[in-house]
Amino acid sequence: MAHKNCQSCSMPLKKDPNGGGTNADGSTSAKYCSMCYQNGTFTQPDMTVTEMQVLVTNQMAKMGFPKFLARFFTKGIPKLERWKS
């Protein structure tokens, strides 16, 4: 199943400057962005869901989003595939 958003950070995959993360075989990941997933592994494997929410909130704030709106957009991160287990 193709996803519209990264299943780790929720970034829209069409906004990924590298076109998506990469699987171990070098193919493009249909689930994860290049910031979260490279060569078949997570770039920050020990990161918690809370840490991801803080990181995404801060990145969105740097892009000019109001903090309250950035926090709102990160509410769904715990429901993404990476964080379900």
- CA-nearest of 66, 6, 69, 74 to 38 is 6
* pTM, 2 dp: 0.90
Q: What is the pLDDT of residue 9?
A: 97
Q: How confident is the model at residue 85 (pLDDT cuts 50, 70, 90)?
A: confident
What is the Cα–Cα distance from 70 to 62, expressed in whole angstroms? 10
Per-residue CA distances from 54 to 21, 23, 26, 49, 84 (Å): 21, 26, 29, 9, 18
